[in-house]
């Protein structure tokens, strides 16, 4: 049974890629513990309490600081928005791929609303070797105004993403290959990805995808309606 089938049959199970340790620049960045899915009975109780999928609340100021401190992190929406949505993801995590579809739907739904979306990267390079190069590719594409198209394409063709073929994704998007290849070869944005990882550890990230909506933490391939409902509540309260 596929993950998608499982999610369809059991809509209240949280799916995410567990994190143990991340290796970048030869340094091991250790997470506190692997992510353990919340028991279904607890999730049902959370539903009854109207806090479904909410693991805990992280101080909003801390999330906003982390959301805005990476110069090259892609963000969409006003910095003083009433609601800030932060997604931590891994380009090779299959559940992040599911959440990418949700993110694109949220972006369309709240395009004209005071909502800011921030994308943070947690490439588990020791588990998925192509994760870190893919993260670099998305930020190199961002130099040419193509972060979201690259984000969408990498997830849409996730199984084909390898370190040695990322230039073909650049060609698909019509990027300037000389600029893209130079950016990739120099690993220009790797230090910022490292900062994303450090921030993820600081807020005790346990798996990808992880969402924060004004500090409220949601783990896994959370359904659109649940995230949208939380955004709406934050906008009206």
pLDDT band for position 237 (cuts 50, 70, 90): confident
- The predicted-structure confidence for 37-86, as pLDDT tens digits, reads as follows 333 343 333 333 333 444 456 666 666 665 555 555 689 998 889 999 99
**Which conformational region is residue 53 in: left (phi greater than 0), alpha (psi within -120 to 50 degrees), or beta?**
left
> Domain 3-226 - what CATH class?
alpha beta
90: phi then psi, degrees, rounded to nearest 5 = -135, 125
- The whole model's pTM is what? 0.78
Domain boundaries, the chain: 3-226
Cβ contact 60:217 at 8 Å: no
- The predicted-structure confidence for 113-139, as pLDDT tens digits, reads as follows 999 999 999 998 888 899 999 999 999
Could you give the CA distance from residue 137 to residue 27 in angstroms, rounded to a whole number?
Answer: 21
Could you give the CA distance from residue 27 to residue 22 in angstroms, rounded to a whole number?
Answer: 8
How far from the centroid of its chain's Cα atoms is residue 17's Cα? 11
- Six token digits for residue 58: 């992280």
- The predicted-structure confidence for 70-81, as pLDDT tens digits, reads as follows 555 689 998 889
């Amino acid at each position: 049974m596929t993950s998608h089938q499982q999610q369809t049959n059991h809509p209240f199970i949280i799916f995410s890629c567990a994190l143990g340790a991340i290796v970048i620049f030869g340094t091991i960045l250790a997470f506190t513990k692997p992510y353990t899915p919340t028991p279904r009975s607890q999730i049902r109780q959370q539903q009854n309490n109207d806090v479904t999928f909410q693991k805990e609340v992280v101080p909003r100021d801390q999330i906003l600081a982390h959301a805005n401190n990476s110069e090259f992190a892609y963000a969409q929406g006003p910095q003083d928005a009433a609601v800030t949505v932060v997604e931590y993801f891994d380009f090779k995590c299959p559940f992040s791929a599911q959440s990418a579809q949700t993110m694109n739907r949220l972006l369309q739904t709240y395009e004209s609303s005071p909502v800011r979306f921030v994308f943070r990267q947690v490439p588990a390079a020791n588990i998925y070797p192509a994760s870190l190069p893919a993260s670099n590719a998305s930020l190199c594409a961002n130099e040419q105004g193509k972060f979201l198209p690259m984000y969408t394409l990498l997830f849409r063709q996730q199984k084909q993403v390898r370190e040695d073929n990322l230039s073909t994704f650049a060609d698909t998007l019509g990027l300037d290959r000389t600029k893209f290849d130079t950016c990739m070869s120099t690993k220009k944005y790797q230090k910022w990805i490292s900062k994303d990882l450090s921030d993820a550890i600081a807020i005790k990230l346990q798996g990808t995808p992880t969402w924060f909506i004004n500090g409220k933490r949601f783990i896994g391939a959370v359904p659109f309606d649940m995230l949208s409902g939380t955004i709406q509540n934050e906008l009206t309260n």
